[in-house]
């Protein structure tokens, strides 16, 4: 299937995209302005957005080819990437695009699901309005259903990760990768993702712990620690937690893409950092390591030129004696030489700069046996500075105008080696002495493949991070949605108001996920979803303890049956499911509240 990316072009292939543009056009013949027409237009636009990504859901979902107006091609099935690339005109449709981006930032996975659920809630909400139910009643019913659904997930569906071990972390990563380009190699890449996230483990602060609790998560750690204390209402102190919690900053994980070899040649540099740069001169050493005299290899990270100092544009120098010109040139060379001497005297054995290094400077570095690399990526240096405990130096001038180089700005590591990867060389930094860091070097045939591998791995890293921090998971494959649908149907029967119909519609809307999964897998969606609802109804209504395990049953899209997805390893973070429901419900409510659209001509 082909949709457009970056800019909407005239010869659209996707009927959903065409529909979206027609609804959003300011010059259309039937541009909605007030009342029900506005609501219908908003819902139609939202459904058009959802239909674009609907067929990409699940392990056998299809890819999208995004082509911009200059012919650049992007092939992906990542919901956030697809929607981010579209130039959506309709304001209601933009709400769903922003919703996918929010899910991507907050959770990292589930972007397609959240858009599909939001669109289905909008469609059913619009039908209720047509049948005479007031939007305020629908909004109230949706919020009641959301509250009940989240409560049920936390009480009945959640499984503690610490009781299951690393196997389920790997399974969660594999579930996230199952629909991606690396799905066939998910066994290898899932272990890579888990090892990478665990390598950047840090103690969580009080603010981090508060954030975990706000997300409805459990403890994020496994090591016993003294309980944190907080002031109680009577002025005393009360224990907050008996376990140390941890955080896993994904910014400390660097992903480097290198053309060549197969994807299975990708590897993790645990506690190290790879930078896409090479030695500036062949005379420099290819390997620097710590010694007895120098137990730490010092790295200088610069955002400045190491070239012969020249007067800036517009600077005029008036000389009376032509011989002074030579003195000026000599002084320009001496300034650069003094700068290099200060860096070397500070103890630097590796020098990395984002700008240029000329032959004169290289000569001094070669003589000192120092590795120097130029034109490094600025963002890479910032990450390396955090990993090694150093700072990126932008100028050597102090407050008084004198030039000095602070040795405290140097980063530290065990060794630095130049390694040949593909057609070029890269610098590997091992044993970083700052915060935890690691690098995943991705190998692949071409740029398109590497970009899609990067997106797939990023989603998996986010999933593992969320599971480690929240310590909870739920079964996937439509199990949670089917269980919630049955539960909310029963809950609706206890409501003695018009909200009963709204909650029943909310329950039915959640079934769009297992239905879409089955349709995308070319299975009989009606039969599979009916079986799934049947076993979950038995699980919730039966008093037999042996039936309690039925709540983990979900879809097996390969065999076209239902199975225990917890035992099969099809799992996802509980926080991902909860946030998907919250974001989708709030987005649907936001759009359903609108009954007028006023075009401002400025």
Among all residues, which ones are annotated catalytic? 78, 111-112, 459
CA distance 16 to 12: 9
Q: Dihedral angle at the C-alpha atoms of 141, 145, 151, 153, nearest 10 degrees? A: -170
Expressed in angstroms, the distance from the first to the final Cα of the chain is 39
**Helix (H), strand (E) at residue 572:** strand 571-573
Q: Where are the beta strands (DSSP E) in 317-467?
A: 348-353, 371-373, 392-393, 411-413, 415-421, 424-430, 438-444
Q: Which two tokens stand for residue 341?
A: 């001497």
CA distance 108 to 111: 8
Q: What interhelical angle do 499-510 and 479-492 show, nearest 10?
A: 170
**Are 51 and 16 a contacting pair, CB within 8 Å?**
yes
- What b/e readout covers 421-453, taking b as 16+ CB neighbours within 10 angstroms? beeeebbbbbbbbbebbbbbbbbbeeeebbbbb
Q: Which two tokens stand for residue 210?
A: 């508060």
Q: Where are the alpha helices (DSSP H) in 346-445?
A: 359-368, 378-388
- Structural Rg of the chain based on CA atoms: 29
Q: Is 347 left (phi over 0), alpha (psi -120 to 50) or beta?
A: left
Residue in this structure with the two tokens 């609790």, named with its chain if needed: 213
Q: Is 543 helix (H, G, I), strand (E, B) or coil?
A: coil
Relative to beta strand 415-421, strand 424-430 is antiparallel
> How would DSSP label each residue in 79-124?
HHHHHHHS---SHHHHHHHHHHHHHHHHTSS-HHHHHHHHHHHHHH
**Are 416 and 286 a contacting pair, CB within 8 Å?**
no
Neighbour tally for 141: CB within 10 Å: 25
CA distance 290 to 347: 12
Angle at CA of residue 145, ends 595 and 91, nearest 5°? 30
Q: Report the DSSP beta bridge partners of residue 76.
A: 64
Q: Report the DSSP beta bridge partners of residue 371.
A: 350
**How many residues in the chain?**
602
Residues 6+ apart with CB under 8 A from 181: 449, 452, 453, 456
User: Which of 142, 8, 160, 179 has the alpha carbon at shortest distance from 468?
Assistant: 160
Q: Which two tokens stand for residue 319?
A: 């000389």
Q: Which two tokens stand for residue 582?
A: 């919250």
């Amino acid at each position: 299937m082909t949709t457009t990316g970056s800019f909407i072009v005239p010869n659209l292939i996707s009927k959903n995209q065409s529909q979206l543009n027609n609804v959003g056009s300011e010059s259309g013949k039937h541009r909605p302005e007030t009342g029900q027409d506005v609501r219908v237009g908003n819902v139609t636009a939202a459904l058009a957005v959802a239909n674009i990504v609907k067929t990409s859901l699940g392990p056998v979902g299809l890819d999208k080819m995004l082509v911009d107006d200059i012919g650049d091609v992007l092939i992906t099935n990542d919901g956030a990437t697809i929607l981010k690339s579209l130039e959506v005109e309709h304001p209601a449709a933009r709400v769903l695009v922003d919703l996918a981006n929010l899910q991507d930032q907050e959770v990292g996975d589930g972007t397609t699901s959240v858009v599909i659920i939001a669109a289905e809630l909008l469609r059913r909400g619009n039908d209720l309005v047509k049948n005479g139910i007031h939007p305020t009643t629908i909004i109230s019913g949706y919020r009641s259903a959301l509250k009940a659904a989240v409560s049920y997930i936390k009480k009945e569906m959640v499984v503690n990760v610490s009781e299951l071990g690393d196997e389920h972390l790997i399974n969660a990563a594999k579930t996230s990768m199952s629909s991606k380009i690396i799905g066939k190699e998910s066994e290898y890449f899932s272990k890579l993702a888990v090892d990478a996230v665990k390598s950047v483990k840090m103690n969580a602060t009080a603010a981090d712990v508060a954030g975990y609790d706000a997300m409805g998560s459990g403890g994020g750690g496994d090591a016993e620690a003294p309980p944190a204390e907080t002031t109680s209402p009577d002025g005393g102190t009360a224990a907050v937690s008996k376990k140390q919690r941890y955080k896993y900053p994904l910014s400390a994980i660097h992903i480097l893409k290198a053309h060549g070899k197969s994807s299975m040649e990708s590897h993790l540099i645990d506690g190290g950092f790879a930078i896409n740069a090479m030695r500036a001169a062949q005379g420099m050493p290819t390997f620097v390591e710590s010694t007895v005299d120098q137990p730490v290899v010092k790295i200088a990270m610069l955002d400045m030129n190491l070239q012969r100092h020249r007067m800036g544009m517009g600077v005029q120098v008036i000389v009376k004696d032509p011989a002074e010109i030579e003195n000026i040139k000599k002084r320009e060379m001496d300034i650069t030489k003094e700068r290099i001497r200060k860096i070397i005297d500070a103890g630097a054995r590796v020098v990395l700069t984002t700008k240029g290094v000329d032959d004169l400077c290289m000569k001094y570095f070669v003589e000192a046996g120092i590795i120097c690399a130029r034109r490094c990526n600025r963002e890479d240096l910032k990450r390396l500075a955090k990993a090694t405990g150093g700072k990126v130096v932008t100028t050597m001038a102090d407050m008084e105008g004198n030039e000095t180089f602070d040795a405290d700005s140097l980063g530290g590591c065990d060794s630095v080696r130049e390694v040949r990867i593909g057609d070029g060389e890269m610098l590997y930094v091992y044993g970083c002495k700052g915060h935890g860091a690691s690098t995943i070097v991705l190998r692949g045939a071409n740029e398109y493949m590497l970009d899609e591998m990067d997106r797939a791995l990023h989603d998996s890293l986010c999933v593992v991070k969320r599971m480690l921090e929240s310590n909870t998971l739920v079964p996937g494959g439509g199990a949670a949605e089917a269980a919630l649908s049955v539960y909310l149907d029963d809950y609706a029967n206890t409501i003695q108001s018009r909200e009963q119909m709204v909650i029943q519609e909310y329950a039915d809307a959640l079934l769009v996920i297992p239905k879409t999964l089955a349709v995308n897998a070319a299975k009989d969606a009606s039969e599979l979803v009916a079986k799934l609802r049947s076993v979950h109804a038995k699980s919730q209504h039966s008093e037999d303890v042996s039936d309690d395990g039925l709540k983990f049953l979900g879809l097996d899209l390969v065999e076209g049956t239902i199975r225990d997805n917890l035992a099969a390893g099809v799992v996802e973070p509980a926080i991902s499911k909860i946030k998907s429901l919250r974001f989708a419900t709030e987005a649907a409510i936001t759009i359903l509240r609108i009954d007028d659209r006023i075009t401002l001509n400025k």
